[in-house]
Structure 1
Amino acid sequence: MKANNKKFISDSIITLTRQVMNIGIGILLLVVLTRFLGPVDQGKYSLVTLLPLMLMMFISIGINTSTIYFVSKNKFLLETVLKTNILVGILLSLVAVVAGLVVIVFFSEALFEGVEISLLYMVLFSIPFIFLKEFLQTIFHGLQDFKSYNTLMIINQFAILGFISLFIIVLDYGLIGAIIGFVLGNITTVFVILYLLLKKKQLRLSSGQFSRPYLKESVDYGFKAYVSNLATFLNYRLDVFIVGYFLSPASVGIYTVAVNVGERITMVSTAISSVLFPKIASEDTEDARNRLTSIVSRNVLLISILASIALLIVSDFVIGLFFGREYIQSSDVLKIIMIGIIFLSVEKIFSNDIAGRGKPEINMYTSIFNVIMNVGLNILLIPQFGIMGSAYATTITYFISFIIKLIIFRKISSQSYSKLLLIQKEDIVLYKSLLKAIQKKIRVNVARKGSS
């Protein structure tokens, strides 16, 4: 049990490290976009690159999520999973491209007002690679090879940043260069994933076969997770479209800066919940699952509160320093969103536990309710309060979603609310032991340097 706990902590730390690096890369990307494109073109970039991500969410049918679940249970050969995911990914990506063309031809004026239509056509080239990236990197996630999985996530972010910097800073291609960089970044990531799967994991496409049984079970499980993830994604991102519809591309730019900075608070929650999903799926006893998730949820709540307070204090300075005074309104939006993000951090933990227990339909129903509520609140509040109205809508939605998941998980696990939300004596003991371990490691390193 101790070995398992140590691995869980180690995997969580590895994933958290990736989250921190992604924050750095993400902030650098935002700085490049805001400084060299300005609020209008940066807002257009956000809208354009949202199109392939939306199509991925709508058409993926949950294959990426079910891959994690079934690989962690070791039910199918990896070569079978690999080959089936590649073939299904290519097929679904072609469907997504056609759907994207329909959206551009018939709905671009309503959904992408002020955006050049050529940019929308250009970003469609990223779709096959986004599908393959999502369907293949989750194999590492299911294997609980978090070192490789997190490395790939960083490579994707870094590749996009590198290509965008090349095209808009060095070559001065402006917004067109940013879109080209986004496409090339995703292409690069797919080739790296295939290299790791074929070389590091020594998988062979020739030895695998397309599996209908795997595909059927994957769709059965994945569709429930798909509806849940789709609704959650819409909950996170549909407000960008609504802000763009009611306001302007510049408002979208200001709003997305606030959301991107605010979501960094969830890095601990995202890291741990990412590890928690396959861990819960592979656990044999309910007691072990309940104890693990209760420890995680209450500690994530504490960390999220402390991180939010810290960001609240420095938000004006951070926004002004990294993005310029023209984005200072993002700080006001951020202060409202941060309240909701505290609750979102804990809700993610409950959601991944529930999915890991093989009950994705619970997340599905809750997420559908959340997105309907969020859209309604955005439509109601944005005309009256501008982008602040979207911030209010987001925070209210996150809070209500948290309450729903808390009540549901309380019934599933029979854990008391205090164990799920309040720090316990065993947590203090854990923190003390971790502190002693860190101090011991520091002393050992100092002694080694002294002896050398």
Structure 2
Amino acid sequence: MNENRQFLKNSFLTFTRQVMNILFGVMLLIVLARYLGPKGQGQYSLITLFPGVLLMLFTLGINTSTIYYVSKKEVTIQTVYTNNMVIGLALGLISMVLGAIIVFFYSGQFFSHTPDGLLYVCLLTLPFLFLREYFLTVFQGLQDFKAYNTMMVVNQLAILAFVGLLVILLKLKLPGAIFAFLCGNIVTAIVMVGWLKKKYQLRLVLSTFSADYFRKSVNYGLKAYISNFSSFLNYRLVVFLIGFLLADQAVGIYVIAMNIAERLAIFAASFSSVLYPKIASFDTEEERNRLTSIVSRNMMAVSIGLTIVGLCVPTEWIVLLFGGKYTESATLLRILLPGIALLSVEKILSNDIAGRGKPELNMYLSVFNVLLNVLLNVWLIPLIGLKGAALSATLTYAVSFAIKVIIFKQVAGEPIARFLLINRADFRIYKRLISKLTIL
């Protein structure tokens, strides 16, 4: 029971910090939407997405394997720290060079309406993005969710602060927003290194670099890497497709709806980040099945509730926050919400499967999802515009969810009703929680 309470405590801590993260994220969206307009917002999304794709392309799954091996205590934290620092910086530089080559030779094909100079500036973010990604998973593996969630908030707050300075005060518009993205991620990486140094006395000691651990982490991580990269493409490839098939302004309108919808998946993000290291640390299937079933079925109920609330959000609220040019974002949001609800539950099941040491199952499905999503987008965007992009996402998430439910049922041997439908035991948990809150 102590472990269950600790899991709930970590999840609640993650949730509260995620709420702050969302508030800062929404504020950032509002500022960029207001000061850049749909076209500038679209260009910002395309430019900042470029290093994000390179980051996912070169992580090699080391971020995922870090959680797995640290949770199982199969390697010293000092070795993990040194390996992740050295490999992160090296891969960051390699991806910068590749990105610069792509911009130099192919920017006309992929970024025809985007300034090349800002693409080069954004590529400078890559080493810091790798450090952020690799060190976040160290905190996750240690189950130090106070640090993990604090760093998430620091990242959003730092970018927002620089946007306030460069975009609002200095009126630098799109260049200011890109430099804010760069500076915010630099600050985040510095704070993370400082935290690890202070709390865990970690230093960059090259003699602790382990080639053996590097091989092990890549061997394990490659399965999750393909899955994560495919999932990332599944969520973000639509941005490039809209930019290619429509226009930068259309990207800006879609991105607002997409970001709002994804921020409603806060509960899934809170529990998923805690669930993976917990599942990896368990010794018995019974413990894993019980915990995941409780989390996933309650996530299903919460996601359905949030979707219903989101569907009732008036269009006027979107216009009030982001401006009259984003009216269509409200319609896109309503189309995306059911898919995001299913995606929230699927993330729980995916992290359980990965925590059991079977990330290749997620990988196969992720590759299928990318192919399905691309085909749907290529068909529906020319046919019905941005609504086609939103509908493609929701259809892909629905198909993926159905398949993942079948996979989890086979892996865990659990009846579908047990991990998707809330029961009387859950209501007793709610009653106890309400009683404790009432006492407080």
**Partner SS state of residue 125, structure 2:** helix
Deviates more, 1:428-437 or 1:107-116: 107-116
1:414 aligns with 2:406: no
User: How far does residue 250 in structure 1 lie from its aligned partner after superposition?
Assistant: 0.6
> TM-score with structure 1 length normalisation?
0.96
User: How far does residue 418 in structure 1 lie from its aligned partner after superposition?
Assistant: 0.9
Give ranges in structure 2 of 5+ residues lacking alignment: none
Does structure 1 conserve the Cα–Cα contact (< 8 Å) formed by 2:85 and 2:204? no
User: How far does residue 175 in structure 1 lie from its aligned partner after superposition?
Assistant: 0.6
Alpha-carbon separation, structure 1, partners of 2:70 and 2:234: 28
Does structure 2 conserve the Cα–Cα contact (< 8 Å) formed by 1:40 and 1:249? yes
User: How far does residue 207 in structure 1 lie from its aligned partner after superposition?
Assistant: 8.1
**Partner SS state of residue 107, structure 2:** helix
Match of 1:446 in 2: none
User: How far does residue 106 in structure 1 lie from its aligned partner after superposition?
Assistant: 2.5
Note the alpha carbon deviations across 1:182-233, whole angstroms, 9 max, x for none: 0000000111011111111122333861101110110011111110000000
Alpha-carbon separation, structure 2, partners of 1:388 and 1:131: 34
**Partner SS state of residue 223, structure 1:** helix
Does structure 2 conserve the Cα–Cα contact (< 8 Å) formed by 1:227 and 1:364? yes
Amino acid corresponding to residue 3 of structure 2 in structure 1: N
Q: 1:362-373 maps to which residues of 2 (within 5 A)?
A: 362-373=361-372
Deviates more, 1:323-332 or 1:202-211: 202-211
Alpha-carbon separation, structure 1, partners of 2:333 and 2:28: 19
User: How far does residue 317 in structure 1 lie from its aligned partner after superposition?
Assistant: 3.3
Does structure 2 conserve the Cα–Cα contact (< 8 Å) formed by 1:82 and 1:208? no
User: How far does residue 245 in structure 1 lie from its aligned partner after superposition?
Assistant: 0.5
User: How far does residue 105 in structure 1 lie from its aligned partner after superposition?
Assistant: 1.8
Note the alpha carbon deviations across 1:226-268, whole angstroms, 9 max, x for none: 1000000000000000001010111000000000001112110
Match of 1:342 in 2: 341
Match of 1:361 in 2: 360
Deviates more, 1:306-315 or 1:146-155: 306-315
Percent pairwise identity: 50
User: How far does residue 284 in structure 1 lie from its aligned partner after superposition?
Assistant: 0.8
Alpha-carbon separation, structure 2, partners of 1:82 and 1:4: 27
**Partner SS state of residue 313, structure 2:** helix
Does structure 1 conserve the Cα–Cα contact (< 8 Å) formed by 2:82 and 2:203? no
Match of 2:295 in 1: 296
What CA RMSD, in Å, does the superposition of the two structures yield over aligned residues? 1.0
Alpha-carbon separation, structure 2, partners of 1:318 and 1:403: 33
Q: 1:65-76 maps to which residues of 2 (within 5 A)?
A: 65-76=64-75
Moved over 2 A (4+): 204-208
Amino acid corresponding to residue 100 of structure 2 in structure 1: L
Alpha-carbon separation, structure 1, partners of 2:116 and 2:186: 22
Match of 1:97 in 2: 96
Q: 1:51-450 maps to which residues of 2 (within 5 A)?
A: 51-206=50-205, 209-441=208-440
Per the alignment, do residues 171 and 436 of structure 1 end up closer, same or farther by CA in structure 2, a change over 3 Å counting?
A: same
Does structure 1 conserve the Cα–Cα contact (< 8 Å) formed by 2:339 and 2:395? yes
Alpha-carbon separation, structure 1, partners of 2:282 and 2:69: 13
Per the alignment, do residues 196 and 208 of structure 1 end up closer, same or farther by CA in structure 2, a change over 3 Å counting?
A: farther
Amino acid corresponding to residue 147 of structure 1 in structure 2: K
Does structure 1 conserve the Cα–Cα contact (< 8 Å) formed by 2:82 and 2:206? no
Amino acid corresponding to residue 76 of structure 2 in structure 1: L
Amino acid corresponding to residue 308 of structure 1 in structure 2: T
Alpha-carbon separation, structure 2, partners of 1:132 and 1:23: 22
**Partner SS state of residue 113, structure 2:** coil
Alpha-carbon separation, structure 1, partners of 2:234 and 2:434: 38
Amino acid corresponding to residue 179 of structure 1 in structure 2: I
Amino acid corresponding to residue 112 of structure 1 in structure 2: F
Alpha-carbon separation, structure 1, partners of 2:368 and 2:156: 32
Alpha-carbon separation, structure 1, partners of 2:403 and 2:295: 18
Match of 1:13 in 2: 12
Match of 2:34 in 1: 35
Per the alignment, do residues 35 and 394 of structure 1 end up closer, same or farther by CA in structure 2, a change over 3 Å counting?
A: same
Amino acid corresponding to residue 437 of structure 1 in structure 2: K
Amino acid corresponding to residue 228 of structure 1 in structure 2: S
Amino acid corresponding to residue 298 of structure 1 in structure 2: R
Alpha-carbon separation, structure 2, partners of 1:315 and 1:22: 24
Amino acid corresponding to residue 277 of structure 1 in structure 2: Y
Alpha-carbon separation, structure 1, partners of 2:144 and 2:207: 21
Amino acid corresponding to residue 120 of structure 2 in structure 1: Y
Per the alignment, do residues 311 and 208 of structure 1 end up closer, same or farther by CA in structure 2, a change over 3 Å counting?
A: farther
**Partner SS state of residue 271, structure 1:** helix
Alpha-carbon separation, structure 1, partners of 2:265 and 2:111: 29
Alpha-carbon separation, structure 2, partners of 1:74 and 1:363: 24
Alpha-carbon separation, structure 1, partners of 2:298 and 2:191: 35
Per the alignment, do residues 400 and 431 of structure 1 end up closer, same or farther by CA in structure 2, a change over 3 Å counting?
A: same
Alpha-carbon separation, structure 2, partners of 1:343 and 1:245: 28
Match of 1:449 in 2: none
Alpha-carbon separation, structure 2, partners of 1:95 and 1:390: 33
**Partner SS state of residue 114, structure 1:** coil
**Partner SS state of residue 308, structure 1:** helix
User: How far does residue 272 in structure 1 lie from its aligned partner after superposition?
Assistant: 0.3
Amino acid corresponding to residue 97 of structure 1 in structure 2: M
User: How far does residue 92 in structure 1 lie from its aligned partner after superposition?
Assistant: 0.8
Alpha-carbon separation, structure 2, partners of 1:76 and 1:102: 37
Does structure 2 conserve the Cα–Cα contact (< 8 Å) formed by 1:290 and 1:415? yes
Does structure 2 conserve the Cα–Cα contact (< 8 Å) formed by 1:224 and 1:361? yes
Note the alpha carbon deviations across 1:299-345, whole angstroms, 9 max, x for none: 00100010111111114133112101210100001111001111101
Alpha-carbon separation, structure 2, partners of 1:107 and 1:262: 32
User: How far does residue 132 in structure 1 lie from its aligned partner after superposition?
Assistant: 1.1
